[in-house]
Structure formats: C-alpha cells, structure tokens
Amino acid sequence: MTTEQANQKVNPLGFFAFLLLLTGTVLVSVFQQYGFLQLDERVMMVLRWAVIGLMSFYAFKKKTLTIWIFVSMFIGAELGYDFPAFAIQLDILSKVFLNLIKSIIAPLLFATLVVGIAGHSDLKQVGRMGLKSFAYFITVTLIALAVGLIAINMTQAGVGIEQQAEAVQQVKKTDKTWQEIVLHIFPENISKSIYEGQVLQIVIFSILFGIGMTMISERHRHFMLEFTESLAEVMFKFTNVVMLFAPFAVGGAIAYTIGKYGLGALQNLGFLLLTLYAALVAFLLFVLLPIAIFSGLPVWKFIKAVREPFTLAFATASSESALPKAMKAMEEFGVPRKIVAFVIPTGYSFNLDGTTLYLSLAAVFVAQAAGIQMSWGAQISMLLLLLLTSKGVAGIPRASLMVLSGAAATFDLPEWPIAMIIGIDALMDMARTSVNVLGNCLASAVIAKWEGEFGIENEPSPERALEEAV
C-alpha cells in the first residue's frame, strides 16, 4: 500500500465517531432552533465552534480532501449563521473556484477526446463486443438522464429560492427553434467557442479534429498525439491543483448561501440532495436490477461481488480508487479478463450512470432556482447535450461541475444556483460515484453474458501459475 493510499484509508471507528459528532451537533442545533432545548445562544455558539474545532483536528490528522470538504461545509454554515454580514463576502471563494473550473473545460475536453479517437482508432477492430458495449452504454445513459429529468420535475426542488435581481436581469430567452439549436452545435470560430464556454461546440471540434488525425500519416499523427496526451496529463494535474481549493469554495458557498438567504435556503439544497438519492435508488431498483435479472445473472452473488468496490467508491467519492477492486471482483465473479479489461475502463468514459443522472437533475434545478420555465423540448435538447459532454471528462474530480457550467452557458442559465450546489456537491458526489462503479461492473457482466463467456474460468496470472506449480 502506498503512502497516499494509507493516508486516504479511513478508520471505520474514527469515521463513525466523526459522523456521530456531526449528527449530535446538528440535532442539538435543530432542537434549539425549534424550542425543544432552552440554552443560551452564546453557549450554543461556543459549543458549535468547539465541535467544529474537534472536526478540524480530525480532518488535519486524516489529511484527505473529502474529510476537509465535509468540515468546510460546517465551518461555512456556522459562519453564515453567526456572522452573516461577513459570510456574504465569502461568495468570492466559490466564484474563483467556478472560474478555475471553467478554465479547465476546453483544453481538457479537447485533449481527452482527441486522444480517445486518434489514440484508439483501432477500437473498430474490437468488433462485436465493442458495438454491444457502446450500444449498452448509450441506452443505459439515456435512461439515467431521463430518470433525473423526471425526478426533478416531480419534486420541483429548485422552486421557491429567492432570486438575485441582477442575475434575473441577465437571463436570456432559453427556448430556441430547432434550426437555432442545430446551428448552435457547430462552431464558427473555436476561439469564440472557448471564450463563451460553448461546450458542445468544443466537443464537435475535438471529434472532427480527432477524426482528421486518424487520416494523416503515422509520422504526423504521432507528433500531434504526443502533444494531446501531454496536454491531457497536464490538465489532469492542473485539475488536482484546483481541487485543493475545493474546501474553501464549499465553505464560502455555504456561508454565502446561509448569510444571504438564511437557513431556509438549505431546505431547497436538502430537497435537491434527497431528490438525487431517491432518483439513484429508483435507477438501481427499476433499471439496473431488471437488467441483471433479465440477463440471467446471479443477483445475490453479484451484490456480494460489488459490495466492496461500491462501498470504497462511496467513502472516497473517487471512481479511480475503486477501479482495481472492481476489476478484480468482476474476474472473481466470472467475467473473463479480456472483457473486464475492455468494458470497465471504457465504461469509465462512456457509462457514468450516476453522473449523468445527477447532471440532468442539477441542470433543471438551476433553471428552477432562476425562475426559468423550460419546455420539455428545451429539457430534452439539454439532455442530449449532457449525453455528449459528459463523455469527455471522465475520471476528473468534480468533473460534473465543469459539464454543468458548460450546459448553463449553452442554455443561457445563470451561474449563481451552481455556486449554491457546490456547497453540497461532496455529498452528491459520493452517491453518483458509487452508482458509476456499480453500473460499470454490471455492464461487464452483461456483456460477458451476451458474448456467451460468463463463468468461463480466467487464465491464471503468471504468479498464480507459479504458485500452483510449486
């Protein structure tokens, strides 16, 4: 185990005590708010800050970004409640974070899509398994987007938030004719597209650029491929650096939200969080579970196999941390290694069920919060945009925020509701990431069933073969 992995490993007892401390603090505050407890407000303030101090000490000891984000949420909430005038000024933190996120979108999308097309142009040789995999990915992703769209339209979680006057004045007409939508897909000037944050135009340009690269000689393609691969690696590291600012952005977003709108604003965010969790549970029960049953998979055995990578993804909010365990678990479950090695890594780019469900839900929440009535036609157009743009930033921390910001720019939606969402994004990220991992594990098993190779014993690794020989 590496030092980084050791630092990220969470002691179950310590984490349980951490959650118990948070729960106790919240309950005491709620009881005080509704009159079930009669304590002096100054005593309550001292108590809350003392608990936050203990949580900060725990976060300092663990040295993980996820824990710091959790702690920053409570620090921001307390600042917004105790010092609203000061908390309103902290909006600058979330705006800085959003600007940095938006600066990542264009070069990262360009690099990853071009490498994916030009660097793996031999995917067409994968044949039947590749076609089946991509058909499965697109179908399930579309269903996930539809579930999110239906869920947020049912709960109307964004309705009722006090709107910012300056933001409302800047909102443009959202509904467009089909001719305008089609024309808006294609870039007239890539620099202009990057400047305006038009994600779909950047995607189209990148796809065409990648296709063009597959048509040139190996000598010229090799040079450009090395450049885009290097650009992608640099942008991954750039993203990691930006994510170090995430706790400050989360704390600032929560502090500003409570300082500006009071504790009532948390009701909408809490409703959004509950809507997401309920939609993900519905997706698991009514989409993924029937797929597993109709494919003839042993469901209980599958649940036991994915339990550990699912839990790890939820705890760390990182698909990458669960990738090795997921691949190993699927091999042990009976999926041939060649299918696992193709389907799961490919699915990490093209089959992010939890993320796509969240994106459709969050995008409509932004419109609802801004008081914008989007027709079903406009929502479906946005759904198709999210289907494309969510494929280019897989494996990036908080990648969904980049895609959401791009969708908001394309459909002329304001950014201030996204700044509110940042405050609870860590809690939503845990759920959507774990569903991403489970969905890709299921995809590998389904493809193995379709190929008639499920349950075929994998060839032992050289180490295992040597061990058996001895």
Task: Tell me the per-residue pLDDT of 431-467, one tens digit each, with 9 for 90 and over.
Answer: 898 999 999 999 999 999 988 888 765 544 444 443 4
Provide the percentage of residues in the chain whose pLDDT is more than 90.
Answer: 16
Radius of gyration of the chain, Cα coordinates, nearest whole angstrom = 23
Give the chain's domains with CATH numbers.
Answer: 92-450 (1.10.3860.10)
Q: Output the pTM of the full model.
A: 0.67
Owner of token pair 């600058």? 92
Query: What is the pLDDT at residue 439?
Result: 94
* Full DSSP string of 100-150: HHHHHHHHHHHHHHHHHHHTTGGGGGGTHHHHHHHHHHHHHHHHHHHHHHH
In this prediction, residue 5 carries a pLDDT of 45
Q: How far apart are alpha carbons 82 and 76 in whole angstroms? A: 10
pLDDT 10s digits, 351-361: 889 988 999 99
Q: What is the pLDDT of residue 173?
A: 42
Question: pLDDT 10s digit of each residue in the chain, 470 long?
Answer: 443 444 445 555 665 666 666 666 666 666 666 666 666 677 777 777 887 888 788 778 877 777 787 788 888 888 888 888 898 888 888 888 878 877 887 887 788 778 766 765 444 544 566 688 888 988 999 999 999 999 999 998 888 776 554 444 444 444 455 566 677 778 888 888 888 777 668 878 887 888 888 888 888 888 888 898 898 888 878 878 887 888 888 788 888 878 877 766 678 888 899 999 999 999 999 999 999 999 999 999 999 999 888 887 786 666 766 777 888 889 889 988 778 877 887 777 778 899 889 999 999 999 898 888 888 888 888 888 787 777 655 555 566 777 788 788 778 888 888 878 887 887 788 889 899 999 999 999 999 998 888 876 554 444 444 344 43
pLDDT tens, 197-232? 776 688 788 878 888 888 888 888 888 888 988 988
Residue 12 burial (CB count, 10 A): 9
- Model pLDDT, residue 316: 61
d(CA 49, CA 72): 12
Q: What would the DSSP string read from start to end of 265-286?
A: HHHHHHHHHHHHHHHHHHHIII
Q: pLDDT value at position 149? A: 92
| pLDDT for 169 | 41
* Distance (Å) of CA 336 to CA 308, 309, 452, 460: 20, 18, 10, 11
